[in-house]
Every structure is written in C-alpha cells, then in structure tokens.
Amino acid sequence: MTRPILITGATGFVGSRLTQRLIEHGVSTRCGSRDPGRAMQRSPDVPWVRFDLDDTAAMDAALEGTKAAVYLVHLLAEGPGYAERERQAATHFARLAAKHGLERIVYLGGVAPQGPPSEHLQSRLDTGKILREAAVPTVELRAGMIIGEGSESWKICRDLSTRLPFMLLPRWMQSRSCPVGIDDVITGLCASLEVPLTGSVVYDLPGPETLTAEEILVRAARLRGMQPRTLSVPVLTPKLSSYWLKLVSGADFVVAQELVHGLVYDLLPTQPSLWDQLPDVVPTGFDEAIRRAMAEEHTPPSLKVKLLEWGAQRLGSVGA
C-alpha cells in the first residue's frame, strides 16, 4: 500500500485546495486539522487526523506511516509569542519527520524582503531554515500575495479596491511584489512533491508581473468597473494603516497588521524560480487570477460591510 502524503492545515485556504487537487489525481493523502471531527462533518470523504502545532504527540501520530508532508500551518492569528512557537513547532516537526523516515517536506513560506523583515516574514523565513537544515530534504517555496478567495492578503486588497472610491496611498504602497494566483500555488506544491531532489532547496514562486501595491489596488478596482482616485501621503505609517484597515476591511485584524508591516520593502524573487523546473507551466496573469477570485466570491455583505461601503461612498462624494 502506498504511504500517504500528510497535508497539514488541510482545512485552510491553501490546504483545502491542495487536498482536492491531490485526491482528484488519485494521490493517497492524510489530512491534518486541529479539529478533525468538525473537518469530517464538512468533508466526510477526506481521511482526517488531528494535527496541532502545540501538541507534539498529535504531530507524531499524524506523521506515522507517511511518505512526505506539506507544511502549511502557522500561528500568525494567535497574537504575541506566535513567532517563537512557530520556530519550536518547526523544530519538533522536522525531528519527527526524520523519525518516521519521510522522503521530503514541502513548505510554503514567504518571500524574503529587500530590507529588514517584519516579525511575520522573519518567522516564515526562520521556519523554512529550520526545516531545510534538518535531516529530511525540504522544498521551501516562497510566495508573496496569493490571489484567491479565502486569502487574507487578497481579502484586504479586495476590500480596499471595492469600498474606497478615494484612496490615500502612503509611501510604502510603492513597494513591489509579484502576486501569484492560488491555482499556480497549488500546481507548485504538487510539483514540489515530485521534483528531483538531492537535498533541501529554496524556490521562489512568483506571479508573472511585478507590481507596486498601488498598482495592485488600482487594477483590482478597475476589473470591478471602478475608477478610484488616489492621493499619495508620506506620513501614513504601516502601523497607522493597519488601524485604518480595521475599519475598512473584513480581514482578520491581527493578520492584517502583520501583513501590512511586511509591505515596507520590496518583496521580489531572489531565489531560483520553481517555474524554471516546470517549462510546460505558464503562470496565470494577474488580471486572470483576479477574475477567478472574483468568480468564487459568494458571501453576501454583512450589515457592517454595507455601512462601511455607504460611508466610503459618502466620503468620496464629499471629496468630489
């Protein structure tokens, strides 16, 4: 019997889509969740096991008998101290993966900024380093903004581009990145389970265009038929911007704070691209990735969202 691949964080934005893709292709999987009972209610045909970064015994049991693992979990939304807990969890996971004889680990991390990293990005890089330097060969993929329904970074972008006819753009909105569509991320993760490997490697996973944060917002708005007006302001810091986002976006506030702090410097590819290993794959264009994300939107706006949109429209009319 083929040993399964453990997908950690299988109920999440990336993990749920990866699970679906692997199952569709007949790959034996084992799916980890903090609450496998609840996950089974939603997806009864998926083989669920308990997986918790704070529970080494659960990690040990989940890894037993597996061939490889995809490491997608983090503790960003859980507040202060998450970075140290993530480092400890990665250390325990790497040790247990070696104990159970895994052939490889695939880890989805974040792009290294061209300047001092935020706490969130530093934690992502530290986790990758811990996994790569351990005994089991690891493929670390580094992605920037992932465009897709369910992504917190995309949710922030969507909310800003949709609800604000007039945008104040701080200086850090000129930072550049290569946003990538979720379909391409899933393709990259699947390929990383099979790409030839003699030791641990790092690949960037960029989208095909380099854009500033301002360009991302403006183009996302235009794809919705909107024509936002913008004004550059030099004094709006990432910290102040994160509080403003709390009023405008439905994204998790703790996560939004960390993501905004990571935008101070360019987030551009510095490592070999995974796409160089996959010459038959043509990464999805930015506009098409947004269209796909928009097509998946299904949640009707809440009363809070409607009030925010009304207020934004009134603000825009006053400033006209």
- pLDDT at position 311 over 70: no
Q: What is the DSSP letter of 9?
A: T
Integer Cα distance of 79 and 7 in angstroms = 24
Lowest mean pLDDT among 58-62, 131-135, 218-222: 218-222
Tens digit of each residue's pLDDT (9 = 90 or more) over 149-193: 988 888 877 777 766 555 666 666 788 999 999 999 999 999 999
Binned at pLDDT 50, 70 and 90, residue 301 comes out as very low
Give the domains, in start order, of the chain with CATH numbers: 5-146+180-206+270-277 (3.40.50.720)
Tens digit of each residue's pLDDT (9 = 90 or more) over 63-119: 999 999 999 998 777 777 889 999 999 999 999 999 999 999 999 999 998 888 888
- Tell me the percentage of the chain whose pLDDT exceeds 90: 58
- pLDDT at position 233 over 50: yes
Tens digit of each residue's pLDDT (9 = 90 or more) over 5-38: 999 999 999 999 999 999 999 999 999 999 999 9
Higher-pLDDT residue of 214 and 91 is 91
